[in-house]
């Protein structure tokens, strides 16, 4: 419990490798039952016990556990805070140990060593919650209940086409808010060949690639929603060109990180973007990916 140990711990946090979430299916390709928890959630519960008394960490851990609890029950979660420990959190832990044990007390050294081993892993687990959501639920953009409520109000009952819907969290949320609203939910489902979570959609999804979906439904809708188009693939640019050719121009709502983790460079260079304040009010930015909601022309 000396300054040298503290500097070592800080380096461990910065150098901790990215953690992968546990698989969401068993050997037969089936999801665990609702009462089962995978390794990630078990570990987060252990962190909550270990860091009890350190409110900043427990708050973030509880946010993760509550989001998982809701999603595991088929419900949309609440917005998340930024899942990053404060820069001075190592010092907070150090002071927490000193309040219980004086310098030189071997019991304190043991507690400090336990925190030293756990803190880099907790930091990595919080940073990689998005990986867990992708691997377990097939949720790439973090879709919260308040965001879907804002989106539903914005659409105001207009017939809507969702492209690249993944497991369908946006469409399911919209259908739950307004059961009478006409929602066309489409996805090519190509990604499901490599990801077991794609076999567990949360709403009915029609197997159509994005361009075919626009050909079929583009003239029937007042809005088109596209979330997290794959990074580096120009399908988003093809989609935008096809929408621009429609006689009736539906509103095009895009969720992605500009010039970042989603969509193609060509799309971001050629899209006319307006960042929608009402739609971003409850759209969480909880990690290093700063995706936003845009109206695109």
Do residues 115 and 155 share a domain? no
Average pLDDT, the chain: 88
Q: What would the pLDDT profile of 182-219 be if each residue is shown by its tens digit? A: 999 999 988 777 766 776 899 999 999 999 999 999 99
What integer pLDDT is reported at residue 196 of this predicted model? 64
Q: What would the pLDDT profile of 268-286 be if each residue is shown by its tens digit? A: 999 999 999 999 999 989 9
Helix or strand (DSSP H, E) at 71? helix 55-72
Do residues 15 and 67 share a domain? yes
Do residues 10 and 106 share a domain? yes
Bin 161: left if φ > 0, else alpha if -120 < ψ < 50, else beta. Answer: beta
Domains in the chain: how many in total? 2
Do residues 161 and 214 share a domain? yes
Do residues 119 and 172 share a domain? no
Do residues 230 and 165 share a domain? yes
Do residues 164 and 292 share a domain? yes
Greater model confidence, 108 or 184: 184
Structural domain span for residue 115: 3-137
Do residues 124 and 154 share a domain? no
Beta strands in the chain (DSSP E): 160-163, 183-187, 206-207, 223-227, 251-256, 273-275, 292-296
């Amino acid at each position: 419990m000396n300054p040298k140990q503290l500097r070592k711990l800080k380096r461990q946090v910065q150098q901790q490798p990215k953690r992968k979430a546990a698989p969401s299916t068993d050997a037969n390709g089936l999801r665990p039952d609702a009462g089962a928890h995978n390794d990630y959630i078990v570990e987060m519960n252990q962190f909550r016990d270990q860091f009890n008394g350190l409110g900043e960490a427990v708050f973030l851990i509880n946010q993760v556990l509550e989001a998982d609890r809701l999603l595991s029950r088929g419900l949309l979660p609440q917005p998340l805070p930024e899942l990053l420990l404060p820069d001075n959190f190592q010092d907070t832990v150090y002071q927490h140990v000193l309040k219980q044990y004086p310098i030189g007390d071997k019991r304190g050294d043991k507690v400090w060593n336990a925190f030293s081993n756990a803190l880099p892993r907790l930091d990595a687990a919080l940073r990689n919650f998005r990986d867990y959501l992708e691997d377990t639920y097939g949720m790439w953009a973090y879709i919260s209940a308040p965001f879907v409520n804002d989106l539903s109000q914005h659409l105001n009952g207009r017939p809507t086409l969702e492209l690249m819907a993944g497991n369908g969290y946006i469409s399911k949320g919209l259908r739950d808010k307004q059961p009478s609203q006409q929602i066309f939910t489409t996805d090519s489902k190509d990604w499901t060949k490599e990801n077991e979570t794609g076999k567990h959609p949360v709403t009915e999804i029609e197997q159509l690639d994005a361009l075919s979906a626009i050909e079929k439904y583009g003239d029937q809708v007042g809005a088109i929603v596209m979330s997290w188009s794959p990074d580096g693939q120009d399908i988003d640019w093809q989609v935008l060109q096809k929408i621009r050719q429609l006689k009736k121009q539906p509103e095009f709502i895009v969720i992605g990180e500009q010039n970042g983790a989603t969509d193609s460079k060509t799309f971001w260079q050629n899209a006319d973007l307006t960042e929608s304040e009402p739609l971003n009010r409850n759209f969480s930015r909880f990690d290093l990916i700063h995706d936003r909601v845009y109206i695109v022309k």
